[in-house]
């Protein structure tokens, strides 16, 4: 008989388990689970840990490629960069905690993703932060926005890892449900990748770092695996507490242990805490594990076994250490001022057995927590009314605003406007290898001892996902690849964070499946396999659900950082448009901001053309033909050129491409396009290269002067556009662009 909680509800339901899942646990154990065992299963069988609703679809993504050393299944994917160097990178969500405690939720999101990269033996070298909020006119949204930004900056700055890129978008659906994703990149020797299955029978399980407390208990089973309609201030104990200074010590100690060859494996204690780290370590090694809960360093008295097993207290790692290396491991930890404790060992019976005061308090098969988690094929259905919304194409609605006024309004729109207010809160140059930080198409990080560099970006458009999730998923990959190419780098691989509503709703699962299909097709066409990522479901509250919001993190390789392209326009350049503009305003920033319409279909996407554009820009950069480049996305050609002009304080005079209506030519968001500028002497070589690559190319004008001139349609001063662009976000927050923020602590 299932045990009941104080309120009469069975405990397994309170923990997020269904009646059927409870019955599966009983069948696996041959008896009723006790309180500790039930908590372990609830955590490990949650959506966050088990991917029980998404695994069947995620298998459709391409995960192998010539550069992939480690794909999905480990804490982080790893890509070979050549010359003996590898890159670990991963993205995850911390949206639910951030909706309750924005500072701590965002800060611990950064800490967790850093430890995912650290667990592979990599030194964290960069952070990116794709964020989504409701409109800033609402006080709660401003509180969330400021708190999340403060949490990211506070944690990243303290641990000395630069936050170099990201993006911020606003949508009413993200008011009750902010989306807070964090991405980390780390570097390591290609021949020293740590894996979770590296342990052997008899190896010791050593807990390193902070003491274990009650913060974070139920984080994955309570917060991350249900809608926020039931969450609120009572869920604050489920939000972890951050200590970035302890994390910095943990980073250095773990890297020294890896450098000295003292680790057989390393696992982050994040979601599901000790239970997850130990069960995954044991299952990957084909082993079991004995745990002594009395040996776990605690910071609170009277903690029960289930609390110790599932606490998500931060700044902790589980090291797998050979017995002969224990003394050296302890010496390293002590020198870095960290607690280390042997809390268990790997055994040969396949069971995860936890003892407290010598008494067995939990005994389950390790693989039953990991490999035997439920797998669901959820019902799917096209959302009601979607066909009608797609048919309502805003492309040929009569414009109600003059083109010049429309451009200024778009530059002031929160989704387009400068995010300087955000990224100036972050240290983007610590470690000294940032060649290009926030504000461009992609960040660029130099590789020490080499001329090479890596390029990093994140992208995702919720409007596209709402109108056509297949195209939303495909565009997220395509734009990320385009951004990386626009700094001169060749795209290598992606990670992702897939943010959706409840998987129990058929329309959500249909959109999820379609998103995966679009991402998979784009990744195959662009040669960018998926090395890992995260699925964040249940982003719903107060009757509101976020739109399908796939975020892609793209890694690219630049052969020579001295050939890096910038997005700041220079005077005296020939200005070219690469790619072709079509009559496509569906899902565009212009349609929403100027026409008040979020309808139609997103721009079409010819993946062969996209691959050709990427190849052209990368080769042109390698041959030093270009002075700069900027991709065309939100706001189309007009916004792309205006942003380049603002960045370089340099005007231009261009003609509009094709025979489209002027507002369509200016603001269409047709894919597979970029504006580039180059010295006139390099024009013949670029035109010849474009012809050979089969990419449409058109010289549209020249750069120089103080004004932005689009034929006879727009004539605006760069300084006027810059003021509108830079002041929009600070204005919505009620302060000037240079005024500091009062730090929010949640």
Express each pLDDT in 712-730 by its tens digit: 999 999 999 999 999 999 9
265 in a domain, yes or no?
A: yes
**Domain coverage including residue 648:** 566-738
d(CA 151, CA 589): 29
Express each pLDDT in 255-270 by its tens digit: 999 999 999 999 999 8
Residue 534 region, left (φ>0) first, then alpha (ψ -120 to 50), else beta? beta
Q: Among 341, 375, 409, identify where a domain stops.
A: 375
63 in a domain, yes or no?
A: no
Instruction: Return the pLDDT at 2.
Output: 58
Instruction: Return the pLDDT at 241.
Output: 83
Helix axes 469-485, 607-622, angle to 10 degrees: 10
343 in a domain, yes or no?
A: yes
Q: Among 359, 375, 391, identify where a domain stops.
A: 375
- Residue 286: CB atoms within 10 Å: 14
Would you place residue 233 in the very low, low, confident or very high pLDDT band (cuts 50, 70, 90)?
very low
Give the sheet arrangement for strand 628-631, strand by strand: 628-631, 674-678, 574-578, 697-703, 652-654, 707-710, 714-717
Tokens coding 255: 């890297």
Residues marked active site are found at 48, 94
143-152, 259-268, 536-545, 558-567: segment of lowest average pLDDT: 536-545
Q: Among 375, 392, 422, identify where a domain stops.
A: 375
> What is the domain count for the chain?
2
Cα angle value 442/224/510 (rounded, 5°):
75
333 in a domain, yes or no?
A: yes
- Alpha helix (H) ranges present in 9-73? 11-14, 19-29, 35-44, 47-50, 55-58
3-state percent breakdown (helix, strand, coil) of the chain, nearest 5: 40, 25, 40
123 in a domain, yes or no?
A: no
pLDDT at 130 over 70: yes
CA distances from 141 to 98, 179, 419 (A): 12, 12, 16
Contact 265/329 with Cβ under 8 angstroms? no
Pairing assessment for the beta strands 204-209 and 540-541 based on DSSP bridges: unpaired
Across 474-503, average pLDDT: 98
Across 472-500, average pLDDT: 98
The set of residues, in sequence order, having a beta carbon less than 8 Å from that of 648 and lying 6+ positions away, is 568, 569, 570, 628
**Mean pLDDT taken over the chain:** 93
Q: Which residue has the tokens 């139920």?
A: 218
104 in a domain, yes or no?
A: no
What's this model's pTM, rounded to 2 decimal places?
0.94
Across 129-144, average pLDDT: 97
Contact 488/558 with Cβ under 8 angstroms? yes
pLDDT at 230 over 90: no
199 in a domain, yes or no?
A: yes
Would you place residue 271 in the very low, low, confident or very high pLDDT band (cuts 50, 70, 90)?
confident
Would you place residue 242 in the very low, low, confident or very high pLDDT band (cuts 50, 70, 90)?
confident
pLDDT at 234 over 50: no
Pairing assessment for the beta strands 549-558 and 490-499 based on DSSP bridges: antiparallel
Would you place residue 198 in the very low, low, confident or very high pLDDT band (cuts 50, 70, 90)?
confident
Pairing assessment for the beta strands 652-654 and 707-710 based on DSSP bridges: parallel
Which domain CATH number covers 239?
Answer: 3.90.650.10
Would you place residue 745 in the very low, low, confident or very high pLDDT band (cuts 50, 70, 90)?
very low
Report the percent of the chain where pLDDT is more than 70: 95
Full DSSP string of 600-620: S-PPP--HHHHHHHHHHHHHH
pLDDT at 388 over 80: yes
pLDDT at 744 over 90: no
pLDDT at 239 over 80: no
Express each pLDDT in 586-639 by its tens digit: 999 999 999 999 999 999 999 999 999 999 999 999 999 999 999 999 999 999
- Residue 180: CB atoms within 10 Å: 29
Cα angle value 563/618/438 (rounded, 5°):
65
Pairing assessment for the beta strands 123-133 and 68-70 based on DSSP bridges: unpaired
pLDDT at 736 over 60: no
Q: Which residue has the tokens 């902010």?
A: 178
Express each pLDDT in 395-451 by its tens digit: 989 998 999 999 999 999 999 999 999 999 999 999 999 999 999 999 999 999 999
660 in a domain, yes or no?
A: yes
237-246, 330-339, 523-532, 689-698: segment of lowest average pLDDT: 237-246
Across 370-374, average pLDDT: 94
Instruction: Return the pLDDT at 10.
Output: 86
Instruction: Return the pLDDT at 197.
Output: 85
């Amino acid at each position: 008989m299932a045990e009941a909680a104080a309120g009469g509800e069975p405990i397994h339901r309170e923990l997020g388990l269904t009646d059927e899942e409870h019955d599966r646990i009983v069948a696996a154990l041959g008896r009723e689970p006790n309180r500790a065992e039930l908590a372990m299963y609830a955590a490990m069988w949650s959506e966050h840990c088990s991917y029980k609703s998404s695994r069947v679809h995620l298998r459709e993504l391409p995960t192998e490629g010539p550069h992939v050393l480690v794909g999905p299944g480990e804490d982080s994917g790893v890509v070979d960069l050549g010359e003996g160097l590898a890159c670990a990178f991963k993205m995850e969500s911390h949206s639910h905690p951030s909706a309750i405690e924005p500072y701590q939720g965002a800060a611990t999101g950064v800490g967790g993703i850093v430890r995912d990269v650290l667990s592979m033996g990599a030194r964290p070298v960069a952070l990116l932060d794709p964020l989504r909020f409701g409109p800033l006119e609402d006080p709660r949204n401003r509180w969330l926005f400021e708190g999340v930004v403060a949490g990211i900056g506070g944690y990243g700055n303290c641990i000395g890892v630069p936050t170099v890129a990201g993006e911020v978008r606003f949508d009413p659906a993200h008011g009750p449900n902010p989306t807070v994703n964090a991405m980390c990149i780390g570097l390591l020797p290609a021949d020293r990748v740590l894996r979770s299955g590296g342990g052997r029978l008899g190896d010791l399980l050593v807990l390193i770092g902070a003491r274990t407390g009650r913060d974070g208990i139920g984080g994955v089973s309570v917060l991350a695996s249900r809608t926020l309609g039931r969450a609120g201030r009572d869920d604050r104990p489920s939000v972890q507490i951050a200590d970035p200074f302890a994390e910095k010590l943990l980073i250095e100690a773990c890297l020294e242990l890896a450098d000295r060859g003292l680790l057989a494996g390393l696992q982050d204690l994040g979601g599901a805490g000790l239970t997850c780290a130990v069960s995954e370590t044991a299952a990957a090694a084909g082993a079991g594990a004995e745990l002594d809960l009395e040996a776990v360093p605690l910071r609170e008295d009277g903690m029960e076994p289930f609390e110790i097993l599932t606490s998500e207290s931060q700044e902790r790692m589980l090291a797998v250490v050979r017995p002969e290396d224990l003394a050296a491991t302890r010496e390293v930890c002590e020198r870095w001022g960290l607690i280390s404790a042997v809390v268990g060992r790997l055994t040969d019976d396949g069971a995860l057995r936890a003892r407290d005061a010598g008494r067995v308090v939990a005994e389950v098969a390790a693989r039953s927590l990991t490999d035997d988690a439920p797998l669901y094929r959820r019902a799917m259905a096209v959302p009601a009314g979607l066909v009608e919304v797609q048919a309502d194409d805003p492309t040929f609605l009569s414009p109600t605003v003059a083109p010049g006024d429309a451009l200024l309004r778009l530059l002031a729109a929160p989704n387009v406007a400068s995010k300087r207010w955000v990224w100036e809160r972050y240290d983007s140059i610590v470690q000294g290898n940032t060649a290009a930080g926030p504000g461009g198409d992609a960040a660029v990080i130099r590789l020490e001892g080499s001329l090479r560099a890596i390029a990093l970006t994140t992208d995702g458009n919720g409007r596209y996902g709402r109108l056509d999730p297949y195209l939303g998923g495909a565009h997220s990959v395509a734009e990320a690849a385009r951004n990386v190419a626009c700094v001169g780098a060749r795209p290598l691989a992606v990670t992702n964070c897939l943010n959706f509503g409840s998987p129990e709703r058929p329309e959500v699962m249909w959109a999820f499946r379609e998103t995966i299909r679009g991402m998979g097709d784009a990744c195959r066409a662009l040669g960018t396999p998926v090395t890992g990522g995260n699925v964040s479901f249940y982003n719903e509250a107060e009757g509101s659900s976020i739109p399908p919001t796939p975020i892609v993190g793209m890694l690219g390789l630049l052969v020579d950082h001295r050939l890096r392209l910038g997005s700041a326009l220079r005077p005296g350049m020939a200005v070219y448009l690469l790619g072709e503009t079509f009559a496509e305003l569906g899902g565009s920033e212009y349609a929403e901001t100027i026409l008040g319409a979020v309808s139609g279909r997103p721009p079409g996407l010819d993946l062969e053309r996209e691959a050709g554009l990427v190849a052209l820009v990368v080769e042109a950069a390698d041959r030093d033909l270009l002075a700069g480049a900027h991709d065309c996305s939100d706001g189309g050609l007009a916004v792309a050129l205006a942003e380049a002009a603002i960045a370089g304080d340099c005007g231009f005079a261009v003609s509009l491409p094709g025979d489209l209506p002027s507002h369509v030519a200016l603001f269409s968001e047709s894919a597979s396009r970029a504006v580039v500028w180059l010295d006139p002497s390099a024009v013949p070589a670029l035109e010849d290269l474009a012809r050979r690559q089969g990419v449409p190319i058109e010289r549209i004008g020249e750069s120089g002067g103080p004004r932005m001139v689009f034929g006879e349609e727009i004539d605006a001063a760069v300084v006027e556009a810059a003021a509108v662009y830079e002041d929009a976000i600070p204005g919505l927050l009620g302060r000037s662009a240079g005024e500091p923020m009062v730090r929010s602590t949640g």
